[in-house]
Amino acid sequence: MAAAAALLSNGGAKIPATGRYAAVYSEVQNSRLDHPLPLPSVLKNPFTVVEGPPSSAAGNPDEIAKLFPFLFGQPSATLVPGDSSSVQELKIGVVLSGGQAPGGHNVISGIYDYLQSHCKGSTLYGFRGGPAGIMKCKYVVLTSDYVYPYRNQGGFDMICSGRDKIETPEQFMQAEETAIKLDLDGLVVIGGDDSNTNACLLAENFRSKSLKTKVIGCPKTIDGDLKCKEVPTSFGFDTACKIYAEMIGNVMIDARSTGKYYHFVRLMGRAASHITLECALQTHPNITLIGEEVAAKKQTLKNVTDYIADVICKRAELGYNYGVILIPEGLIDFIPEVQHLIAELNEILAHDIIDEAGAWKKKLTSKSVHLFDLLPLAIQDQLLLERDPHGNVQVAKIETEKMLIQMVETELEMRKKGASYKCQFKGQSHFFGYEGRCGLPSNFDSTYCYALGYAAAVLIQSGKTGLISSVGNLAAPVSEWTVGGTPLTLLMDVERRHGKFKPVIKKAMVELEGAPFKKFASLREEWALKNRYLNPGPIQFVGPASDAVNHTLLLELEAQV
Ligand code: FBP
C-alpha cells in the first residue's frame, strides 16, 4: 500500500514520517491503522439530499433571527437514496478547534476519503493550530500519505488545535482573505459548542458577503454537552468516559484492597456533569455528585459537605473506612452561592485589573466577599484565573476535589468532638481529565467520526452552509445510521459573556428527568453503602465488548423511542 510507505520502520514499531513530529507507534496503534470503518448504507449507494421544514432556535428565536439574518430559519438536510453522480472538484479547508477529543483524525479521514471517492481532483487543506491557522492562512495540503498514519489514532496532532476565536471585524476579514486566497468551496469546523457558534458566525459572515465558501460544523467534545435530538452525541465522549471508567475501576479495587482511603475523583466535563454520570453508570461509586442536581436543589457548599460526611459516617458503622467519590469538574459553578460569586467575578475580570491592593474586591456583594474569604487560598486564586477566550471559568484548573477533602475533614473532626463519628478519614485526590482526551478512539467513536466527516463533505458538495454534520439512529447497526445536517441556528440561544449578550449554542446539561440520571438515582443508595464496584477494564477493540456504546447514549435513545 502506497500510504504505508509513509510509516518508517523502527524495530517493529512504525513511525509516521509526515506531520510535525515523528512518533513511534505501539503494536496496538499499528493494528488500528487498517481497522476497517463501516459506512452507513446511505453513504455507500447513490443518494440525494432532501430538505426538512424551516427551523427555529433553541431559545430567543427573535434575537437569533436578528443576529443571523442570512441563515436563520434554514431547513435541515437529510441524505436519502437517490441519484448522486457529481464529480465536481472541491477545495475544502478543515480545522480542529478547542480541546482534544478522540476521533478527530477520523473526521478528517472521512472528509478526505469522500473527496477521493466522489470528487476526484479535490484538495483538502488542514489549517494548523486551530482557528488561528485560518486567520494566518497557515495550512498543510492533506494527502493520502499525510492522513494515513493518523487513521483511528487519538489526539489532534495531525494539524493540531487551538482555542482562538474569530470574532473581531479584522479577524473575520482575515478569515475571508484566506477563503478567497485558497478559493475555498467549504470549511469544516470540528469543535464544541463555542467553536460551532463561531462556525455559524463565520457562515453568516461569508454568506452576507456573497462568498462561495460554505461552513459546516462537526460535534466534538468529550464533555458530551453538544447534543440535541438531531445530533445525539458529540464525538470523544464515548472514548473519554471509557478511559476514565477504567481508571476509576482500578482506584475502586485499590480502595477495597487497602481499606483506608476515600478517593475523591474529579472528572473533566466543564459545566455539564455528563462524564461523571456516565462514569458512575459504568463503575458504581459510593458517592456521585451531579452539578445539575446540586443547582436544582439549591444546595450550598455546606449541604454538599454534609451529604458526603453522612455517607462516610454510615459506611464507618458498617466497617468501611474507604470509598470512591466522583465529582464533576464544573461542580463549583453549580452551587448557587458560588455561581453568584463567579458571575460577579466575571464582570469584574472583564473590566478591572486584579491586583494585590484588592480594590476589585469592593465591587463584590457582601455575601460573595464572605464566601470568597471562606474558600481555601488555592481555590481563591484558581477562581481569579483568566477566563478562556470564550469567557468561561477554567474549571479544569479549580481543584474542587482538594477543597472538598478539606471541608469533609473539618466536618468529621467536628462530628468526632460530638462523638457521632469515631473512625479515621483519609482523602486522596485525583483529577482525571487530560488523560482521556487523546486515547485511541473506541470503535464507536472511530466509526461515528468517519461518518461525520463524510457527511460534512457531502453537505459542502450540496451547497449547504451553517449546518452541523449530523449522524443519527446510533443504537441501530451502522448500516442503518442516518446522515445529514442540522441548522446551527436551531441549536442557538443568547447568553451573557464578557459582560455582553452573545449568541451561543445552548449547552445540553444533564436532565434530571432524563433516563440516564433516573437510572443512576434509582441505584445510588445501594452503591453508597453496599460495595457494588464495577471495573470495566481497558477499551476493547476486538471481541464481545468492543462495540459496546456508552450508557448515556443508549438510555437517551431508548427513552426517545
Ligand atoms: P472543548 O469544550 O473545547 O471540547 O474542551 C473540553 C475540555 O476538555 C473541558 O472538559 C475542559 O474543562 C477544558 O477542555 C480544558 O481546557 P484546556 O485544554 O484549555 O485546559
pLDDT tens digit string along 312-333?
A: 999 999 999 999 999 999 998 8
Residue nearest ligand 1's atom 12 by CA:
270
Q: Is the confidence at residue 290, as pLDDT, over 80?
A: yes
Residue nearest ligand 1's atom 14 by CA:
99
Q: Give the helix ranges, DSSP H, for 489-547.
A: 515-529
For the segment 428-456, the average pLDDT, to the nearest whole number, is 98
Report strand pairing: 161-162 vs 91-97: parallel
Residue nearest ligand 1's atom 5 by CA:
99
Residue owning grid cell 466497617: 319
Among 21-30, 494-503, 531-540, top mean pLDDT goes to 531-540
For the segment 112-129, the average pLDDT, to the nearest whole number, is 96
Question: How far does residue 330's CA lie from ligand 1's centre (Å)?
Answer: 11
Question: How far does residue 396's CA lie from ligand 1's centre (Å)?
Answer: 7
Residue nearest ligand 1's atom 18 by CA:
99
Atom of ligand 1 nearest to the CA of 437: 8
Q: Are 329 and 275 in contact (CB under 8 A)?
A: no
Give the pLDDT of residue 20. 45
Residue nearest ligand 1's atom 6 by CA:
99
pLDDT digits (tens, 9 = 90+) for 389-402: 667 777 778 899 99
Residue owning grid cell 431508548: 558
Question: How far does residue 99's CA lie from ligand 1's centre (Å)?
Answer: 5
pLDDT-based confidence at 343, cuts 50/70/90?
confident
Atom of ligand 1 nearest to the CA of 330: 12
Give the pLDDT of residue 83. 85
pLDDT-based confidence at 185, cuts 50/70/90?
very high
| Type and span of the H or E element at 317 | helix 301-317
Residue % of the chain over a pLDDT of 90? 78
d(CA 487, CA 466): 6
Give the pLDDT of residue 395. 75
Give the pLDDT of residue 528. 98
For the segment 115-134, the average pLDDT, to the nearest whole number, is 96
Residue % of the chain over a pLDDT of 70? 94
Longest dimension (CA), the chain: 79
Give the pLDDT of residue 33. 96
Q: Is the confidence at residue 358, as pLDDT, over 80?
A: no
Q: Which three cell numbers stand for residue 367?
A: 455575601
Give the pLDDT of residue 359. 77
Q: How many CB atoms lie within 10 A of CB 302?
A: 13
pLDDT-based confidence at 6, cuts 50/70/90?
very low
Q: Which three cell numbers stand for residue 171?
A: 479577524
> What SS3 string covers 205-274?
HHHHCCCCCEEEEEEECCCCCCCCCCCCCCECHHHHHHHHHHHHHHHHHHHHHHCCCEEEEEECCCCCCH
Q: Is the confidence at residue 85, as pLDDT, over 90?
A: no
Atom of ligand 1 nearest to the CA of 236: 4
Give the pLDDT of residue 303. 95
For the segment 204-223, the average pLDDT, to the nearest whole number, is 97
Higher model confidence: residue 4 or residue 267? 267
Q: Is the confidence at residue 561, as pLDDT, over 90?
A: no
d(CA 514, CA 524): 16
221, 227, 434: residue to mutate for ligand 1 pocket, most atoms within 8 A of CB: 221
Q: Is the confidence at residue 388, as pLDDT, over 90?
A: no
Q: Is the confidence at residue 492, as pLDDT, over 80?
A: yes
| From 223, 225, 238, 333, active-site residue | 223
407 contacts: CB under 8 Å, gap ≥ 6:
301, 305
pLDDT digits (tens, 9 = 90+) for 60-80: 999 999 999 999 999 999 999
**Range of weakest confidence among 181-195, 197-211, 346-360:** 346-360
95, 241, 270, 395: residue to mutate for ligand 1 pocket, most atoms within 8 A of CB: 270
Q: Is the confidence at residue 19, as pLDDT, over 70?
A: no
Q: Are 16 and 9 in contact (CB under 8 A)?
A: no
d(CA 191, CA 98): 6
Question: How far does residue 270's CA lie from ligand 1's centre (Å)?
Answer: 7
Look up residue 166 and give its amino acid.
Answer: I
Question: How far does residue 349's CA lie from ligand 1's centre (Å)?
Answer: 20
Mean pLDDT, the chain, rounded, equals: 92
Atom of ligand 1 nearest to the CA of 223: 10
Higher model confidence: residue 305 or residue 22? 305
> What SS3 string covers 435-492?
HHCCCCCCHHHHHHHHHHHHHHHHHHHCCCCCEEEEEECCCCCHHHCEEEEEEHHHHE
Give the pLDDT of residue 22. 58
Q: What is the pTM of this model?
A: 0.92
Residue nearest ligand 1's atom 7 by CA:
99
Question: How far does residue 95's CA lie from ligand 1's centre (Å)?
Answer: 16
Give the pLDDT of residue 12. 46
Q: Which residues are near ligand 1 (CB < 6 Å)?
A: 98-99, 101, 163, 192, 221-223, 268-270, 329, 395-396, 437
Report strand pairing: 91-97 vs 123-127: parallel
222 contacts: CB under 8 Å, gap ≥ 6:
99, 101, 102, 234, 236, 237, 239, 240, 241, 268, 269, 275, 436, 437
The DSSP code for 167 is -
Q: Which three cell numbers stand for residue 89?
A: 472538484
Give the pLDDT of residue 15. 53
Question: 500 pairs with which residues across the strands?
Answer: 497
Give the pLDDT of residue 9. 46
97, 163, 222: residue to mutate for ligand 1 pocket, most atoms within 8 A of CB: 222
Question: How far does residue 101's CA lie from ligand 1's centre (Å)?
Answer: 9
d(CA 225, CA 223): 5
Number of H helices, E strands in the chain: 19, 18
Report strand pairing: 262-267 vs 427-432: parallel
**Range of weakest confidence among 25-29, 159-163, 420-424:** 420-424
Question: How far does residue 225's CA lie from ligand 1's centre (Å)?
Answer: 12
pLDDT-based confidence at 378, cuts 50/70/90?
confident
Give the pLDDT of residue 523. 98
pLDDT digits (tens, 9 = 90+) for 400-425: 999 999 999 999 998 988 776 677 89
Residue nearest ligand 1's atom 4 by CA:
221
Residue nearest ligand 1's atom 8 by CA:
99
Question: How far does residue 386's CA lie from ligand 1's centre (Å)?
Answer: 14
d(CA 513, CA 347): 33
Atom of ligand 1 nearest to the CA of 270: 12
d(CA 326, CA 430): 10
Residue nearest ligand 1's atom 15 by CA:
396
Give the pLDDT of residue 420. 63
Atom of ligand 1 nearest to the CA of 221: 4
d(CA 293, CA 125): 44
Q: Are 36 and 17 in contact (CB under 8 A)?
A: no
For the segment 278-297, the average pLDDT, to the nearest whole number, is 97
Atom of ligand 1 nearest to the CA of 220: 4
Active site residue 223: yes
